[in-house]
């Protein structure tokens, strides 16, 4: 890891383990351009890649064609209104309504460590494991400075970028666009991958060519959303999970975003992400600053898998802060699909009785424990225990669960309020709405105005009082509707364009306060499932509920999309009842366990009512979790087959960092007649080590198979180059685990 400035060529070179990121200052005016990002290179001076030594040349050589230069130069942070007609990263209006900015190099600083982003989640590092470059750009005429920040981390091929905009004009200005990152690449023919979906179908993978013009994905919902995710990657046409060049970009933000890629008339490609400029503005007084959210760039020459493993390592080591980051999570059982609103303390204690005997370690009480909450039409915001429903009160229930050797967790939806609630009747102005206009409801609920500290203070105090009243060790934070009808009783008209971002900052502020005051709390975020499963939330919670769709087969596609970016340890995944409550499908209990093992692992069912043969499998699954979770949680992830691509078979593996163990999961979704076993090549093993293969029960996987050798020890090189045979079970939806261990 190293960052250096080369005075003779006015170049900046950022080196990670296997990659180089190079920029250069050109022309006497000092334009900052992007020269190179890719495999590690030894040379410092690659400014020729910016094509400044050929027509139209720089303005000092060809002033008459300045606009031609602007419209093809690979600006590191392009601005609006001066003649670069591609997507801009920055737009600022002055008091006269003019919006044209030209940024030129002013100064730079290189230092060890990494600064925090005020009020925002971001990757972190210290002087031993990270390094930062800050480049200050300025528009002298407008009195604007922009500080571009680049941070790298020991042993990780990622670059974290953000920007700070400073008003030094002596006047008020209005920021209407401030993207987190932009970089150009010359003459590349890429495909792009984005993630799309909706409720119960989150993170579906969409691969299409990068076309001429600008293509974008975005959210305007106030959350990162299930519809699109603030991630994109560009990849070579022949790239797949295990080969080819890939450029990944993910935004550490949980609100409205816009991610775009554009291919110009000259075949250059510009990639950009940041806060969605639609419905956004920010008033900056003289001397005031605005910080953009952080974006993470990853280059991989080892396909999508290499990109994923880099994101996973970065987020595990430099984004997730929870004390649970590297710990095995307690196996929980959530009562939502077991009871919905129809429960009391006796029912929950009965579930705890049965669950504890099976080895389940935590009971989570979901929606319906507070106020007049007997259905989803009322009482959100009334965070007081309903002691008619929970006789004896919350502490009695928690103590009873603890007596059975189980931890206790609880569900909140802090951002919401129902019109039929004591809170709304007392403070109708606390809900987001436009005066004189009837607001739109979703699930008969409105959203609280988290731009106001008095609102977040009130909600925090209510949540904190509940957590202090009993031994509660886990919180599921839910958020079940988008934002619309934007209106605040406190925000002045000239600042209404700041609402969406201020709301997101309010959510961050409240979650930061929660985990600071309750440092040992296990916090899990949720938003109608995976509607806010993003890197911003991981900064506050080590795990996020991936989807309300718990069907094991649907989860294969959802979890594959998540695994492109996020470590498996962050993915909330449960075994649920069948027929599944979302799709009505029935899958084997064993398969449901194998699929949930790829996440945090838990249960979403009434353990007192499931078939006896399923209940008897729970202790086996508990042992499975404790046996393999270290590999899943901390290991390197490799995709072996994709059900979303082939339609009938899914497989992945996790390899321990020391390459002494691996766990293969294989799911036959649709059984086909007259098909032999499948050959699957493994990845990530030590080619010079010998390995033994075992079934889930510990027996020899190769027993009875010819050709494996009498000692049944197979080299890593053979397993990766020649592969193994996956023997499918009888019927659809069958799965198996294969434990790979280095031979002694």
Instruction: Report the distance separating Cα 559 and Cα 547, nearest Å.
Output: 9
Number of DSSP helices (H) and strands (E) in the chain, helices first: 15, 39
Contact 480, 527 (CB under 8 A): yes
* DSSP codes, 86-135: S--SEEEE-TTS------EEEEEEEEES----TTS------TTTEEEEEE
Other CB atoms within a 10 A radius of the CB of residue 129 amount to 18
* Candidates 15, 84, 478, 549; catalytic one: 478
Cα torsion angle, 702, 707, 709, 715, sign:
negative
Q: What is the dihedral of CA 60, 64, 70, 72, to 10 degrees?
A: -100
Output the 3-class SS for 697-708. CCCECCCCCCCC
For 607, counting Cβ atoms within 10 Å of its Cβ (0-12 exposed, 13-18 middle, 19+ buried), the class is buried
Nearest Cα to Cα of residue 737 among 642, 596, 636: 596
Contact 157, 299 (CB under 8 A): yes
* Helical (H) or strand (E) element with 571: strand 571-572
686 annotated active-site: no
Paired strand residues for 604: 576
Q: In what order do the strands lie in the sheet with 636-641?
A: 636-641, 649-655, 661-668, 734-742, 690-695, 714-715
Cis peptide before 710 (omega within 30 of 0): no
What are the tokens at 680?
Answer: 């699957």
Contact 123, 318 (CB under 8 A): yes
User: Which positions ≥6 away from 7 have C-beta within 8 Å?
Assistant: none
User: Which positions ≥6 away from 84 have C-beta within 8 Å?
Assistant: 70, 71, 73, 75, 78
* Candidates 548, 551, 606, 614; catalytic one: 548
Task: Give the 3-state secondary structure of residue 483.
Answer: coil
Tell the residue number behind the tokens 């994709």, with chain if given.
Answer: 642
Task: Give the 3-state secondary structure of residue 732.
Answer: coil
Instruction: Report the distance separating Cα 239 and Cα 245, nearest Å.
Output: 6
User: Which positions ≥6 away from 411 have C-beta within 8 Å?
Assistant: 336, 364, 365, 366, 367, 369, 475, 476, 478
What are the tokens at 239?
Answer: 């790239």
478 annotated active-site: yes
Strands (DSSP E) found in 586-705? 602-604, 636-641, 649-655, 661-668, 678-680, 690-695
Tell the residue number behind the tokens 């499918």, with chain if given.
Answer: 728
Nearest Cα to Cα of residue 538 among 560, 567, 561: 567
Query: What is the length of the chain?
Result: 744
Instruction: Report the distance separating Cα 141 and Cα 86, nearest Å.
Output: 22
Contact 516, 540 (CB under 8 A): no
- Phi and psi at 335, nearest 5°, equal -90, 5
Instruction: Report the distance separating Cα 223 and Cα 508, nearest Å.
Output: 12
Which residues are known catalytic residues? 478, 548
């Amino acid at each position: 890891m190293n960052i250096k400035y080369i005075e003779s060529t006015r170049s900046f070179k950022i080196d990670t383990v296997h990659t180089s990121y190079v920029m250069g200052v050109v022309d006497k005016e000092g334009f900052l351009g992007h020269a190179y990002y890719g495999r590690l290179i030894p040379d410092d001076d690659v400014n020729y890649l910016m094509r400044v030594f050929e027509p139209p040349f720089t303005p000092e050589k060809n002033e008459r064609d300045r606009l031609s230069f602007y419209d093809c130069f690979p600006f590191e942070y392009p601005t609006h209104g001066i003649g670069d007609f591609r997507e801009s990263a920055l737009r600022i209006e002055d008091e006269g309504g003019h919006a044209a900015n030209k940024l030129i190099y002013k100064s730079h600083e290189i230092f060890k460590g990494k600064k925090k982003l005020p009020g925002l989640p971001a990757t972190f590092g210290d002087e031993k494991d990270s390094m930062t470059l800050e480049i200050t750009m300025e528009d002298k005429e407008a009195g604007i400075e922009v500080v571009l920040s680049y941070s790298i981390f020991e042993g990780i091929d990622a670059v974290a970028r953000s920007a700070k905009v400073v008003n030094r004009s002596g006047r008020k200005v209005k920021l209407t666009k401030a993207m987190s990152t932009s970089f150009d690449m010359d003459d590349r023919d890429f495909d792009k991958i984005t993630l799309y979906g909706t409720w119960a179908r989150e993170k579906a993978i969409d691969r299409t060519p990068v076309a001429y013009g600008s293509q974008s994905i975005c959210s305007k919902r106030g959350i990162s959303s299930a519809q699109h995710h603030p991630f994109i990657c560009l990849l070579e046409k022949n790239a797949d999970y295990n080969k080819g060049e890939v450029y990944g970009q993910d935004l550490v933000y949980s609100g409205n975003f816009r991610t775009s890629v554009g291919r110009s008339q000259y075949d250059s490609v510009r990639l950009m992400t940041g806060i969605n400029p639609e419905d956004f503005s920010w008033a900056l007084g003289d001397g005031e600053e605005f910080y953009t959210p952080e974006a993470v760039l990853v280059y991989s020459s080892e396909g999508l898998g290499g990109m994923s493993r880099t994101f996973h390592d970065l987020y595990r080591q430099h984004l997730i802060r929870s004390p649970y980051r590297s710990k095995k999570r307690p196996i929980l059982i959530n009562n939502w699909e077991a009871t919905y609103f129809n429960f009391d303390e006796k029912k929950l204690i009965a579930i705890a009785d049965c669950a504890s005997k099976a080895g389940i370690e935590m009971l989570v009480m979901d929606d319906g424990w507070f106020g007049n909450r007997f259905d989803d039409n009322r009482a959100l915001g009334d965070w007081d225990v309903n002691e008619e429903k929970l006789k004896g009160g919350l502490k009695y229930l928690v103590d009873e669960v603890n007596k059975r050797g189980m931890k206790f967790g609880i569900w909140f939806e802090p951002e919401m309020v129902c019109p039929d609630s004591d809170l709304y009747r007392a403070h109708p102005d606390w809900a987001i709405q436009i005066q004189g206009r009837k607001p739109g409801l979703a699930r008969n609920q409105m959203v609280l105005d988290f731009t106001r500290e008095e609102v977040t203070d009130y909600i925090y105090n209510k949540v904190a009082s509940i957590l202090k009243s009993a031994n509660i060790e886990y919180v599921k934070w839910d958020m079940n509707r988008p934002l619309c009808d934007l209106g605040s009783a406190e925000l002045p008209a000239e600042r209404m364009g700041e609402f969406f971002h201020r709301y997101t900052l309010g959510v961050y502020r409240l979650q930061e306060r929660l985990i600071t005051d309750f440092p040992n709390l296990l916090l899990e975020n949720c938003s109608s499932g995976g509607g806010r499963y993003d890197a911003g939330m991981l900064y506050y919670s080590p795990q996020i509920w991936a989807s309300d769709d718990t069907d094991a087969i649907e989860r294969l596609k959802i979890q594959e999309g998540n695994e492109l970016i996020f470590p498996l340890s962050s993915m909330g995944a449960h075994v649920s009842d069948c027929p599944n409550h979302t799709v009505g499908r029935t899958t084997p209990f064993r398969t449901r366990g194998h699929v949930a093992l790829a996440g945090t692992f838990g249960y979403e069912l009434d353990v007192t009512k499931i078939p006896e043969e399923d209940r008897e499998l729970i202790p086996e699954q508990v042992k499975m979790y404790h046996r393999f979770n270290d590999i899943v949680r901390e290991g390197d992830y490799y995709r072996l087959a994709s059900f979303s691509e082939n339609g009938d078979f899914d497989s992945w593996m996790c390899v321990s960092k020391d390459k002494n163990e691996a766990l293969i999961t294989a799911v036959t979704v649709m059984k086909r007649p007259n098909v032999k076993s499948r050959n699957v090549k493994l990845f990530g093993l030590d080619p010079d080590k010998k390995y033994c293969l075992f079934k889930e029960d510990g027996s020899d996987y190769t027993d009875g198979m010819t050709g494996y050798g009498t000692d049944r020890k197979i080299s890593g090189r053979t397993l990766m180059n020649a592969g193994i045979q996956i023997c499918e079970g009888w019927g659809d939806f069958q799965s198996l685990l294969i434990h790979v261990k280095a031979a002694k």
